[in-house]
Amino acid sequence: MTGLHFHPLRVRELRADTDDALVLSFEVPDDLRATFRFQPGQYLTLRRAAGAAGGAAGGDLRRSYSICAAAGEGLRVGVRRVDGGVFSNWLHQELKAGDTLEVMEPQGRFGAAVAQATAQTAAQTAPPRHLLCVAGGSGITPVLSIVKSVLAGEPGSRVTLLYGNRSAGSTMFKEELEDLKNRYLTRLALHPVFSREQVDSPLNSGRLDREKIERFAPIIGIETVDQAFVCGPHALNDEVEAALLAAGLAPERIHVERFGVPPSAADATLHAPREGDATTARITVVRDGLTREIGFQPGDESILAAASRAGMDVPFSCKSGVCATCRAKLLQGEVRMDRNFALEKADLEAGFILTCQAHPLTEQVVVSFDHR
């Protein structure tokens, strides 16, 4: 069993989608086809190597981008340019078709419930489903992948998509969604909501917040929703989740993908030692089928940091507890995490941890990056 690694992929095309968003598609050579097979809602981690054109002088730079294609379509991601953002501006300004990027294999479990459902439906053992998708801004990318995969793969299932944007002009994948609506007239209900553009229906104006979800509830038929997928800015994620819980949707049916840490979570002392931490520990790390023992020292920010300091090539992207690229399974011992915006209850119960946030509580800990 091997874990995550970077692979060089050629950029096939960079296509402008809106004024500040582009779609970046990759060529996947035959020998990497199985490696880059993806499930709806998964993401890629891209790496700009130190010394690349416009690259960082000291160390590589990594960011995650959700795949916006349906399972089986060509590999592509949608990237919105963030003001002052290092990586998104580099992709927008410097990258060209024909360039090669370092890309990690697809990962993430946001759409796992869809993948399972689709497989069961194909086997005709699962009933048709009603999925509710709520996206804000660039949060549409993993949601689009889920929407397209379900509509194409589950002939009896239907999707309601609430999609918040500033205006029609800033809406990513606008034409593709219009095409989907026309193609799946009875199975896709699309409700755009604009915060800075007046439209005839008050329901379609304003922010996609808790109150808006409550007002949409009878139109959606919220009691018929089997699974909900939410991805957008922090406030949208939190408010929509709260509204769905209040409407009676079970927590395990609500799936939230976060693109970053809420500003309120900034904390300079985040990784500081706490009472109960093991002051020193032996960490056994399983990676690519090999086992290596490393020491955890008082200055180490996390188990991931200790493994990196020991020279191990371990997978990571955000180091903030958001993306789960550093996910590993705890096979022995106990750890605590500084924060977790990525793992769901079922992941935690199955023993998964975010190594970028994990501190040993016991003197012996065994973690495996090969268990995904």
Least Cβ distance, residue 50 to ligand FAD (angstroms): 15
Instruction: Output the smallest distance, CB 47 to ligand FES, in A.
Output: 13
* Part of the chain binding ligand FES (CB under 6 A), chosen from 188-196, 238-246, 253-261, 319-327: 319-327
φ/ψ of residue 227, rounded to 5? -140, 145
Query: Out of ligand FAD, ligand FES, none, which partner does residue 247 contact, by CB within 5 to 8 A per kind?
Result: none
How many CB atoms sit inside 10 A of residue 58's CB? 6
Q: Is residue 42 within 8 Å of residue 75, measured between CB atoms?
A: no
For residues 305 and 354, the answer to whether their CB atoms sit within 8 Å is no
Residue closest to 91 by CA, chosen among 174, 26, 163, 166:
26
Q: Which does 87 bind (CB under 5 to 8 A by kind): ligand FES, ligand FAD, none?
A: ligand FAD
Sole binder of ligand FES in the list 115, 231, 326, 335 (CB under 6 A): 326
Closest CB to ligand FAD among residues 47, 80: 80
Inter-residue contact 150 to 40 (CB < 8 Å): yes
Question: CA 312 → CA 44, 287, 309, 348, distances in Å?
Answer: 21, 9, 7, 25
Structure tokens at 333: 């011992």
- Residue 273 CB, nearest distance to ligand FAD (Å)? 26
User: CB under 5 to 8 A by kind: which of ligand FES, ligand FAD, none does 82 bind?
Assistant: ligand FAD
Q: Which residue is nearest to ligand FAD (CB)?
A: 85
Partner from ligand FES, ligand FAD, none binding residue 325, C-beta < 5-8 Å depending on class: ligand FES
Task: Give the one residue of 281, 324, 358, 367 binding ligand FES; rule: CB under 6 A.
Answer: 324
- Kindly state the helix (H) or strand (E) to which residue 21 belongs, with its residue range: strand 21-27
- Residue 41 as a binder of ligand FES (CB under 6 A): the answer is no
Residue 39 contact partner, candidates ligand FES, ligand FAD, none, CB within 5 to 8 A by sort of partner: none
Closest separation between CB of residue 76 and ligand FAD, Å?
A: 10
Q: Which of 87, 259, 316, 369 is in the footprint of ligand FES by CB under 6 A? A: 316
**Cβ pair 353, 337 in contact under 8 A:** yes
Partnered with residue 256 across adjacent β-strands are: 230
State the residues that interact with ligand FAD by CB under 6 A: 43, 63-66, 77-80, 82, 84-89, 138, 141, 259-260, 318, 322-323
Give, for 158, the enclosing helix (H) or strand (E). Answer: strand 158-165
Of the pair 322, 367, the CB lying nearest ligand FAD is at 322
User: Is residue 237 near ligand FES by the rule CB under 6 A?
Assistant: no
What span, in angstroms and rounded, lies between the C-alpha atoms of 352 and 147?
28
Q: Find which of ligand FES, ligand FAD, none residue 316 binds, CB within 5 to 8 Å per kind.
A: ligand FES
Closest approach of ligand FAD to the CB of residue 332, in Å? 28
Give me the residues paired with residue 50 across strands.
Answer: none
Residue 90: φ, ψ to 5°: -65, -45
Out of 28, 91, 342, 353, which residue is the one contacting ligand FES (CB under 6 A)?
342
User: In this structure, is the dihedral angle defined by the CA atoms of residues 14, 236, 242 and 202, taken in order, positive or negative?
Assistant: negative
Helices (H), 163-229: 174-183, 210-220
Does position 322 interact with ligand FES (CB under 6 A)? The reply is yes
CB 330 within 8 A of CB 367: yes
* Binding residues for ligand FES (CB under 6 A): 316-326, 342, 354, 356
